[in-house]
Structure 1
Amino acid sequence: MQSKIMSKARESIKEIFPFKVYTFQIAELLVNITKHVLKPKHEVLTAEEKVKLLKDYNIVDSQLPRILESDAVAHYHGFGKGTVVKVTYDSELTGNHVTYRCTF
């Protein structure tokens, strides 16, 4: 879309389609944020990997650092609530650094 979607139109989309539909403004799609050199690598964990991670650290998913559904990368990939993502940073200063985030 060229401009921001109105709330009535957003509600209509939810009523018309039985599946989740993501809308983007043209300006959001001019640059592929997943290919930017400063963006860390995001990988979605499978259900088994998520269970193993939570068991290894003896935590529940709400105790993981959060990534919002409205985050640019989460919105681009369509991460739903409760999705656990492995984020790999590669920096000259810190080297390889892995964190896990849960979508809220």
Structure 2
Amino acid sequence: MPEEFQVGRHVLVPKHEILPKDKVEELLDRYKITLHQLPLIKSSDPAVREIGGKPGDVIKIIRNSPTAGKAVAYRYVVEG
């Protein structure tokens, strides 16, 4: 029986993690924004499902960047 594919282990998929609630507040205060001003990501996204993301969570995405070293993006999880 072949092993189940884990999307988070693929070399082209950046690291996804659920941001703790206290860090979400810091993020929103830092940028003076609301949750609904963050870019959206669906709860059906394979990377979000793999880490257990639910609607209402904020996902931190860490990509390798040739110019910046690491590039961080945040997404608000919505139903979908």
The structure in which a higher percent of residues are strand is 2
Q: Which has the higher contact order (CA 8 A, sep 6+)?
A: 2
Q: Which runs of 4+ in 1 moved over 4 A?
A: none
Query: Where in structure 2 are the equivalents of 1:39-54 lying within 5 Å?
Result: 39-54=13-28
Which ranges of structure 1 fall in alignment gaps of 5 or more residues?
1-28
Aligned with 1:76 (options 32, 47, 50): 50
TM-score scaled by length of structure 1: 0.66
C-alpha displacement of 1:64: 0.4
Which ranges of structure 2 fall in alignment gaps of 5 or more residues?
none
C-alpha displacement of 1:94: 5.6
Let me know the Cα RMSD of the aligned residues: 1.6
The structure in which a higher percent of residues are helix is 1
TM-score scaled by length of structure 2: 0.84
Aligned with 2:62 (options 60, 75, 88): 88
Aligned residue pairs, count: 76
User: Deviation digits for residues 27-64 of structure 1, max 9, x if unmatched?
Assistant: xx731111111110112111110001001111111110
Corresponding residue for residue 67 of structure 1: 41
- The percent identity for this pair of structures is 36
- 3-state SS in 1 of match to 2:23: helix
